[in-house]
Amino acid sequence: MKFAECKNHKESIGLLFWQSSMLWQRKIKQILQPYNLTHTQFVILAVIEELSEQEVCITQKKISDFSMIDVMTVSSTVRLLEKKGLIYRLPHKTDTRANSISNTEEGKNCLKQAVIDVEGIDKAFFFSTNKENAQFQNMLSQLLCKNSE
């Protein structure tokens, strides 16, 4: 673009990040199809499992904060996952406006299998050495910290 600082599209870090992200997401979408899960549904199941291991009362707000998925998307996805029988909601013990969310046994089993496939995609997609992956993870963590509100 003539009015951009970059001489060409190959110099645009934003575009390269976008393209890489789109390729990775496409691969994740394909691997999750046999589980009848979208990427967002998979992430929410995984976040619920992670938070449950921390013995936290899991609410839609906590899922949203942890995953950085907007609250409305979490809300509609949670409803869909409940209809699929992969999660269940119970009234929150102290907050009458909220529900406590957990994965069902079916949800946990589905997640266990899907994680294996998703981790396989990650291993194939990202770098071939632990050192390169650690450097990349470190840089991504720095970006998150730098840009968190």
Number of structural domains found in the chain = 1
Q: Is residue 9 part of a domain?
A: no
d(CA 30, CA 131): 28
What Rg do the C-alpha atoms of the chain give, in angstroms?
A: 18
Q: Is residue 3 part of a domain?
A: no
Q: Is the pTM of this model over 0.75?
A: yes
Q: What is the pLDDT of residue 112?
A: 98
Q: Is residue 11 part of a domain?
A: no
Q: Is residue 12 part of a domain?
A: no
Any idea what the CATH number is for the domain that residue 106 is in?
A: 1.10.10.10
Q: The domain containing residue 81 runs over which residues? A: 29-147
pLDDT in tens, 94-103: 777 778 999 9
d(CA 88, CA 6): 49
Decide which of 2 and 147 is more confident: 147
Task: Say if residue 26's pLDDT is above 90.
Answer: yes
- 65 contact partners, CB below 8 Å, separation of at least 6: none
Q: Is residue 4 part of a domain?
A: no
